[in-house]
Structure 1
C-alpha cells in the first residue's frame, strides 16, 4: 500500500453521503455498497483510514497549548483565535478547533467502520492482519476523542451518518474504553512485531496503546503487565543520542513504536487543509525568521512557544533541553546576522519547539503546510515511563519502576534517582514532562494525574473540552453538554 497517495477509494468514502456523486456514476461502476470485491479493495480502503492520522497534528499542538508547557503565540493575540481561546481557557462549544478534532477523529472512525461493515464480503490471505490494523486505527481515533471530550457516541458496526447520530447517546467513557480494550486484544493477536513498510501498525504499537488506555483508567496492574510485554520483546531501544531522535533524517528509528508519516512533496494550501500530506503543526511552530543565515531551519508562524518555566525546569547538564527547545537568544548570538519577528509579543518567550521545527526542504505548495516531519506518536521512552508509573502506582515493583526511569535519565546524561513510593511517583511525573515536552501529551497527563494547578486560568470544567455545539444540534440535541459549558 502507498501511504503517500490518497487513492480513489478515499473519494468514495468521503462522498458516501453525497447524492450528486452517486447519481453521476455510470451504470455498473463501483459504489460504496458493492466496492469490496478484492484484497486490493480492502487495502485501498485501509489507506483511507491511515490517511486521517495526518489530521492529528491539531490534537498534538492543542495538547501543548492547553498545558503549562507553552503559550499560544502566533502573529497577534487574535491569530487563530480558536487556539488563543484554548490557551486562555476561554473556549466554548463554538470553538472551531475543537469541532475539527471531533469531526476528524469521527471521519477516521467512519472510514474504519466502512471496512468493518463489509469485512465478511470475501476471504483473502492476510485479512486478519488487515482487520487488526483497522481495529488499532479505530481505537487510536476513539482514544483521542475520549481524551478531549470524555463520554462520546460509540459507533462500531458501520459508517456514521446524521441519521445514526440522532439515534445514539453519548457512551460512558468506561464503556468506550472497554470496547477499545476488546478490539486491541484482538488486534494484538493478529499483528506482527515488524512490518515491511514504515508507518504500518505493529503488535508493539497495539500493546502500547492498550497499556496507555489502561493507564488512563488507573488500571495500573493491567498497564504494567501490558507495557512490560513491549519492553521485554526486545523490539525497541532508546536512541543513543537524544538530539538525533527528531531529525528528519532519523525518522522511524529504533525508538519509534508508532509514528505518523508525513510527506512534503505533495500538499495543501490554506484553502484546502483536507488536502494536507505534510505536518501542518511544524510550519505553525517555527520562528518567524526574516533574514540572515538560519539554516537548516526555515521560517514559521511562531505558535506554541515553550515557556521560560519549562526551559528552566531542565538542569544545565540535561542533554534534552537544547535538543527539545530552541533558545532564540543563544541561536542569534551564534549567528549575528539572523533577524526575526517576535510575532505576538504578549506570548513571545524567546523559545521554540525544536522537536517539530520546520526544516528547509523541497516541499510543494504552501511551504508552511507541507513539512515532512513525522510525528513520533509513541516512543520507547514513553513506554518506559508509562511502565514505571504503572509499576510504581500499583505498588507492584518500585525497583523496576526506578530502573525504567533511570534508563531514560541515563540517556539524558543525568544521575540515577533512588526514590520510592509517592516521591518516586512525583519523580516519574517530572521525568515525563521533561522527556516528552513539545509532543502533545502534557495537558492530558496533567488532567489524568491531577496536576492542573499550574495551568493558567484552569477551572474544574476544563478537565474536558466541550462537545461542539453544532454537533449536538446535528444529533437532534440528544447529547448533553459537558458540565460547565
Structure 2
C-alpha cells in the first residue's frame, strides 16, 4: 500500500461519521466513537484533517454514491455541451431534468452535493476549533495544520459557490457538530472574500513540499488562489500568482510542475502524482474497503456490456465535443466552423456491419478523451461500437475514455470486491498543470499580453502534437488522421486570442468536469448552450424543448430540504436562487 499518509485512526464525532479510509490516508477504516477530549492531540487532529481530505473524491459521509463525485461529471459536463447523461432514459432519472435545465429544488442530486460540500467544511472546521487545545503539537506544526484545514474549507466552499452562488460561509465559530449543512447561517452575502482569505492563508503558510504527497502544498494553494481570482475576474491578481506558480511551483512530492510527456499519462495509474498533478483525490484498491476508496464517484462512466468496467454507459461524449476536435489543413482548430458538419460516427450501424471511421483531420486528443468505433480503446482492442453502448438512439455512439483502466491492469489496479469491475486506483485529477497554463493564458489575454498567452497555449499544443502520444493501431501507425500544429502567427486581436484560449481549454480538459463552470464564468453559457441544443436536439430527441434560461440556469437550485432544515421561528434562513 502506497504510504501517502499513514495513520491508524477512526472517529465518529458527535454523529458526524468521518469516512477516511483512503489508501492515501488511513490503513484502517473508521471503527470507533470518541469524545472531543480524546481528539485534542496529534493523532486526533490528524484524523480529523484526514476526514476532510477524504471527501475530495465526492464519496463518504452523507454524500451518497456518485451524486457528489469529485470529478463533477454531472454538474460540470452533462450540463454543458461536452457530454450527455448517457446510458438510457430510465437509469438515474434524476439526471434527466438536470441535463435539460428543468431540475427542481427537490432533486436529490443537489441535496447530496450540498451535504457533501458542507460536510467537508464541517470536518475542516473541527480541526480548526480543536487544534489550539492539542498541546502536543508544536506551534510551527499547528500553523501548517491550520493552513491545510483552511485550504480544504476554502476548496469546499469554492465548489459550492460555483454550483449555487448564494451559499453560506461556515467557519469554526459557527458550525455545529451535529449539523452537516449550514448551522442556520444565511446565504445573503457574497462569500468570495472569505474563500479568497482561506486559500491565501494556505498559500502564505503551507510548505513547498509535504512528506505525504496527497496533502496540499503551497503551490497547489497558489494555483487555486489564482483560480478563485479568475472566477472574480481579478485578472491582474491571477496573473501575478500564476507567474509565480509556473516559474517556481512544484508538487507536494518535490517535482517541478511540468506537462507530462504524453497527454494520456494523466489518465492512467502510472501518472498518479506526476509533475502535472497539482491537486488530486487519491484512490486505492484491494484495501478491504470494498472499493469505496477507489474511483467510486465515476464507476458509472465506463463502457456498457463489455470492455473496461462492463457498466454502465453513463457520461457519453456529445457529437458537439467530437466535432470540436476537427482541425483545418494547417492543424489548427476550426474555431467558428467546427460544428457545421459532423465527424462521421457509427450511429445506427450495427456491430455486425462494416464501418470506416472518419478520415478528416483531427486533434489527437480526441481519441484519448472519447471512445469511438474502429479506434483502439487502450489495450482492449478496437472500440466495437454499438455493443459497448447501452442505447445508441438515446445517447449516441461514443463512450467516455479518460481514467479507463488498461486490460493489463485488471486485478492489479482494479478492485473486484464490488458489483462492478470499474473500480480503479487512478487518481481523480482536480487540477492539472495544463489547467494552470490555460488559466494563465486567459489572464494574459485580459491583460493584453497576447504573445505570452499564445506561448502558453503552444506549450499545450506542442505536447499534443508529439506523435509518440498518438493513439496507435496494432501496427504502430496513427489510429486516425491526426493533424495538429501550434499557433505560428500572432493572434489578430484580443477577441481572437480570447476565443482561441477558451477553445484550447475545452480540448485539453474535455470530459474533466470544467466546461459548464467555464462557460458560466466567461458569461457565455446561455448563447453557447442554446446554440448547442439547437443542433443536438436533431440527434438526441430527449433534448427537444430543452432551453437554457439566462439569469437562472447559470446556478443550480438551492436544495429544498436544506431550505426547510434552515427554518427558524417559521422562517427559512436560506433563500432560494432566482427563477426556482
2:566 matched to 1:475?
yes
Q: 1:289 to 1:243 in 2, by over 3 A?
A: same
1:133-164 CA distance string (max 9 Å, x none) = 11111111000000100021111124345599
Structure 1 counterpart of 2:549: 459
Q: In the aligned structure 2, how far is the partner of 1:165 from the partner of 1:243?
A: 40
Alpha-carbon separation, structure 1, partners of 2:164 and 2:288: 30
Q: CA deviation at 1:166?
A: 6.1
User: 1:119: how far off?
Assistant: 2.2
Alpha-carbon deviation of 1:401?
Answer: 1.4
**Alpha-carbon offset, residue 9 of structure 1:** 3.7
The aligned residue for residue 127 of structure 2 is: 115
RMSD: 2.7
Partner of 1:65: 78
Q: After alignment, is 331-340 or 455-464 more displaced?
A: 331-340
Aligned partners of 1:16 and 1:311: how far apart in 2?
A: 42
Describe the shift of the 1:335–1:68 C-alpha distance in structure 2 as closer, same or farther (beyond 3 A): closer
**What residue number does 1:299 align with?**
310
- Structure 2 vs 1, CA of residues 252 and 14 (structure 1 numbering), >3 Å: closer, same or farther? farther
Quote the Cα distance in structure 2 between the aligned partners of 1:164 and 1:285.
Answer: 28
Greater shift, 102-111 or 80-89, is seen at 80-89
1:22 corresponds in structure 2 to none
Provide the C-alpha distance between the structure 2 equivalents of 1:16 and 1:317, rounded to a whole number of angstroms: 48
Preserved CA contact (<8 Å) 2:520 2:554 = yes
Single out whichever of 326-335 and 465-474 deviates more from structure 2.
Answer: 326-335
Alpha carbons of structure 1 residues 135 and 187: separation in structure 2 relative to 1, 3 Å: same
What is aligned with 1:242? Answer: 263
- 8 Å contact from structure 2 (residues 73, 315) kept in 1: yes
What secondary structure sits across from 2:106 in the alignment? coil
Distance 2:79 2:428 in 1: 19
Note the C-alpha offset of 1:280.
2.2
What's the counterpart of residue 480 of structure 2?
Answer: none
How many matched pairs?
A: 460
Q: Does 1:39 align with 2:42?
A: yes
1:369, distance to aligned residue in structure 2 (A) = 6.5
Match of 2:486 among 416, 427, 437: 416
Q: If the length of structure 1 is used for normalisation, what is the TM-score? A: 0.88
Q: TM (normalized to structure 2)?
A: 0.74
CA distance in 1, matches of 2:384, 2:374: 13
Gapped regions of structure 2 (runs ≥ 5): 19-31, 59-67, 250-255, 328-360, 466-483, 534-546
Contact 2:4 2:212 in 1 (8 A): no
Query: After superposition, what is the alpha-carbon deviation per residue over 1:300-327, rounded to whole angstroms, capped at 9, x for unaligned?
Result: 2111100122112113352211112111
Instruction: Report 1 or 2 for greater relative contact order, CA contacts < 8 Å, sequence distance ≥ 6.
Output: 1
1:26 alignment counterpart: none
Match of 1:446 in 2: 519
2:93 maps to what in 1?
81
Distance of 2:301 and 2:439 partners within structure 1: 27
Q: Which residue of 2 aligns with 1:177?
A: 192
Cα deviation, residue 2, structure 1? 6.6
Aligned pairs for 1:215-234 within 5 A? 215-234=230-249
Once residues 80 and 368 of structure 1 are traced to their aligned partners in structure 2, the CA distance between those partners, rounded to angstroms, is 19
Match of 2:368 in 1: 323
Matched, 1:389 2:442: yes
The DSSP-based 3-state class of the residue aligned with 1:204 is helix
Cα offset, 1:99, TM superposition: 0.9
Q: CA deviation at 1:201?
A: 0.4
